[in-house]
Chains A and B, each alone.
Chain A
Amino acid sequence: MSEHSTPHVLPLRVYLGIGAILLIFTIITVIAAQIDLGFLNIVIALAIATTKALLVAFFFMHLYYDNKLLFLIFASSIFFLTVLISLTMFDTLRRGDIYEIRDINIEQDAIIYDESSSVGADTSGTNH
């Protein structure tokens, strides 16, 4: 697509059609929420939500017809978000794999930093 082209116009029926599909998906979401499918609950809910978001982005926001660079930017932002979430889940989902984590309740009133007895040492994490 050239830089100064006129805006891309879709026929009205495409908008109405996509709108109808979005409504149908909303109804499916409501129905699916009534039935307990175990671990599939979240999978179905997220799959429907993702499909709907993509339909909006591709057609209502014209990503499908626009400069492919814009699609690349959109896709890369999704990619980096995936990296952030999935690598973080490598941690949060697999804690205690090797060494068992002893489950101790954390005291609400635990003293984290006591001015009177401290010698001012902070031993938090690494920063290289």
Chain B
Amino acid sequence: MNTIPEQNFLTAEKGLKSWLTTLDHKRIGILYLISITFFFFVGGLFALMIRLELMFPQDEFFIKLDDFNQVFTLHGVIMIFLVIIPSVPAVLGNFVLPLQLGAKDVAFPRLNLASWYLYMFGASFALFSIFTGGVDTGWTFYAPYSTTIDRSVISMTMAVFIIGFSSIFTGLNFIVTIHKLRAPGMTWFRMPLFAWSIYATGILQVVATPVIGITVVLLVLERLLGIGIFDPTMGGDPVLFQHFFWFYSHPAVYIMILPGMGIISETITAMAHKNIFGYKAIAYSSLGIAFTSFLVWGHHMFVSGQSEFAAMVFSFLTFFVAIPSAIKVFNWIATLYKGSISLDTPMLYTFSFLILFTIGGLTGLFLGTLSVNVTLSDTYFVVAHFHYVMMGGSIIAFLAGLHYWWPKIWGRMYNEKLAKIACGMVFVGFNVTFISQFLLGLKGMPRRYATFTSEFAQLNGFSSWGAFLLGAGLLLTAIYLIHAVYKGKPAGNNPWGALTLEWTTSSPPPHNNFEKSPTAHYGPYDFDKIVVESTLDD
């Protein structure tokens, strides 16, 4: 019978103050989890408002036309900057990375707490702008619209600026942690692949994020002082804003997806009880994705008026991103071959990820093709593609990771039956919502419109019902996960039979992570070696 250890990081100190001043990476991970979940539901509410408005063709069915622009902007800004970018690194990276490396904490615990405070500070700016005029620029803040309208663009872009620093500090912290705090025996190629993906993400966070910081500062300066950087009436170049914006924001989609890919490498090996196929290929492909992501930003700008030459170069380079992504997908599928597969909830989410991310990735190739893109630009096809990668990829992987590590975080197991039902609702709801949008896009429905003609009515209605099912699935997930924290059955140290170091300590882990410093004797997925050894022991 499993029990919860009396001494663990949750019981080490008590009271709100102990949480708000904690330097423990595990507690900081939970602080992030609470704040990100809050914003996930706020962003989700905005999504449901969009789908309610688009359920029927008539104008102003649910919200006013002008408010519609605000609603989709806030949905985008909150989901991207406040939820997906920090989700996996700041929550699961914080909690799991030091445990996986066999370390007591991250390299800079104070900086780690400071990142969370910066995140909250930035988030308060975002909330402030919602209540003081709002923003209706879209999450991309394109100039010259964003530099000329009378809305809370400055406070919202400052939110992005501040949260950017939080992201940089987190990335820097993890890079140093991986370089300096690996346990004895934990060579680079004995690191779990989740750590590799966090490492690649860290590089992106440190290198790319300053550019969005500078860009929004230029935007604010232009609004305040009337400097002609982006505004063509003052000799500026609005397309330049798009270059600067996407130089960050394209790598940012890999900041969002790479850690998710790391989670999949963990869950797929643990659930298939098999060594990963092509460890080095997956590790290097993370770095490959990080590198190539810097060379392709112009594919967001094919209809912006950039030169045809630049468009051709960016289109050509875009196809290179598909190679490391495909390497990963093929290796994961090969890992399943002859594995002993358990169909627990993390694995169901992993399968969902493989299907949804593949659809998202392949439709990305459609959009990367210059000629096809010109037709599909600004249609619902783009919206569907983006959601397949970001929601079907990042968020589904995050859910896989949450279900996988939940028993480690709290020491208690959730209700597997409810979890499987919720996973089914999320998968079906998601596909109903966004396959409809692929079709709408192909039929030519433009995005960001609050109204549409009757020919789009059926698919839009279908998409909205899918969104409600998806929302219900996520709500159910929140309910049984929170229930498990208080009432779940004790899970034991290693409910999945995984080999990475976090499963060798108790659940929840003690304040210093391990009773005594661990040593990595095996690679993270050497199930074959462990089996051989235990057979010999018998």
Taking beta carbons and an 8 Å cutoff, which residues of A are in contact with B? 76-77, 80, 83-84, 87-88, 90-99, 106-108, 110, 112-113, 115, 118-128
- Contact: A97 with B308, CB < 8 Å? yes
Interface residues of B in 63-113 (CB under 8 A from A): 65-66, 68-69, 76
Residues of B within 8 A of A112 (CB): 144-145, 148
Sampled A-B contacts (18; CB under 8 Å): A80-B294, A87-B243, A87-B297, A93-B307, A94-B307, A95-B306, A95-B307, A108-B233, A112-B148, A113-B145, A120-B65, A122-B136, A125-B303, A125-B304, A126-B300, A127-B249, A127-B300, A128-B300
Chain A CB within 8 A of B386 CB: yes
Residues of B within 8 A of A119 (CB): 65, 450-451
Residues of A within 8 A of B385 (CB): 128
- Contact: B309 with A97, CB < 8 Å? yes
Chain A CB within 8 A of B420 CB: no
Chain A CB within 8 A of B288 CB: no
Over the window 115-159 of chain B, the binary record of Cβ atoms lying under 8 Å from chain A Cβ atoms (1 yes, 0 no) is 000000000000000000000111110101100110000000000
Interface hit among B8-16, B183-191, B234-242, B394-402: B234-242
The residue that A123 contacts in the complex, of B65, B140, B306, B448, with Cβ under 8 A, is: B448
A7 smallest CB distance to B (angstroms): 21
Residues of A within 8 A of B233 (CB): 106-108, 110
- Contact: A128 with B367, CB < 8 Å? yes
* Residue in chain A with minimal CB distance to B385: A128
Q: Give the docked Cα–Cα distance between A66 and B159 (Å).
A: 37
B392 smallest CB distance to A (angstroms): 13
- Contact: B232 with A106, CB < 8 Å? yes
Residues of B within 8 A of A96 (CB): 307
* Residue in chain A with minimal CB distance to B139: A127
A95/B207 contact (C-beta < 8 A), A113-B149, A124-B140, A124-B145 known:
no
B50 smallest CB distance to A (angstroms): 13
A96 smallest CB distance to B (angstroms): 7
Q: Give the docked Cα–Cα distance between A4 and B244 (Å).
A: 40
A91/B294 contact (C-beta < 8 A), A80-B207, A124-B145, A128-B367 known:
no
Taking beta carbons and an 8 Å cutoff, which residues of B are in contact with A? 65-66, 68-69, 76, 136-140, 142, 144-145, 148-149, 207, 211, 232-233, 237, 239-240, 242-243, 247, 249, 294-295, 297-310, 313-314, 364, 367, 373, 377-378, 382, 385-386, 446, 448-451
Residues of A within 8 A of B66 (CB): 115, 118, 120
* Residue in chain B with minimal CB distance to A90: B310
* 4 further A-B pairs in the complex, CB-CB below 8 A; given A125-B303, A127-B138: A84-B211, A91-B239, A106-B232, A120-B65
* Residue in chain A with minimal CB distance to B363: A128
Q: Chain B interface mostly helix, strand, loop or mixed?
A: helix
A85 smallest CB distance to B (angstroms): 10
Residues of A within 8 A of B139 (CB): 127
Residues of B within 8 A of A88 (CB): 240, 243, 247
- Contact: B148 with A113, CB < 8 Å? yes
- Contact: B386 with A127, CB < 8 Å? yes
- Contact: B382 with A126, CB < 8 Å? yes
Q: Give the docked Cα–Cα distance between A104 and B312 (Å).
A: 26
Residues of A within 8 A of B367 (CB): 126, 128
A81 smallest CB distance to B (angstroms): 10
Q: Give the docked Cα–Cα distance between A106 and B232 (Å).
A: 7
Residues of A within 8 A of B307 (CB): 90-97
Residues of A within 8 A of B76 (CB): 127
Q: Give the docked Cα–Cα distance between A115 and B303 (Å).
A: 25
The residue that B298 contacts in the complex, of A76, A91, A127, with Cβ under 8 A, is: A91
Q: Give the docked Cα–Cα distance between A112 and B446 (Å).
A: 20
Q: Give the docked Cα–Cα distance between A84 and B251 (Å).
A: 12
A124 smallest CB distance to B (angstroms): 4
Q: Give the docked Cα–Cα distance between A42 and B72 (Å).
A: 46
B80 smallest CB distance to A (angstroms): 9
A126/B303 contact (C-beta < 8 A), A84-B247, A91-B239, A108-B233 known:
yes
- Contact: B386 with A77, CB < 8 Å? no
B255 smallest CB distance to A (angstroms): 15
- Contact: A122 with B69, CB < 8 Å? yes
Residues of A within 8 A of B309 (CB): 90-91, 94, 97
Residues of B within 8 A of A127 (CB): 76, 138-140, 249, 300, 382, 386
Q: Give the docked Cα–Cα distance between A124 and B308 (Å).
A: 19
- Contact: B298 with A87, CB < 8 Å? yes
A74 smallest CB distance to B (angstroms): 13
Residues of B within 8 A of A95 (CB): 305-307
* Residue in chain A with minimal CB distance to B367: A128
- Contact: B446 with A120, CB < 8 Å? no
Residues of A within 8 A of B449 (CB): 121
Residues of B within 8 A of A92 (CB): 237, 239-240, 307
Q: Give the docked Cα–Cα distance between A90 and B65 (Å).
A: 39
- Contact: A98 with B308, CB < 8 Å? yes
A36 smallest CB distance to B (angstroms): 24
* Residue in chain A with minimal CB distance to B234: A108
- Contact: A128 with B364, CB < 8 Å? yes
A97 smallest CB distance to B (angstroms): 6
Q: Give the docked Cα–Cα distance between A124 and B378 (Å).
A: 8
* Residue in chain B with minimal CB distance to A107: B233
For the complex of A and B, list the 9 residue pairs with the smallest distance between their C-beta atoms, beginning with the closest: A91-B310, A120-B65, A94-B307, A124-B142, A90-B310, A91-B306, A94-B309, A95-B307, A88-B243
Residues of B within 8 A of A87 (CB): 243, 295, 297-298, 310, 313-314
- Contact: A94 with B450, CB < 8 Å? no
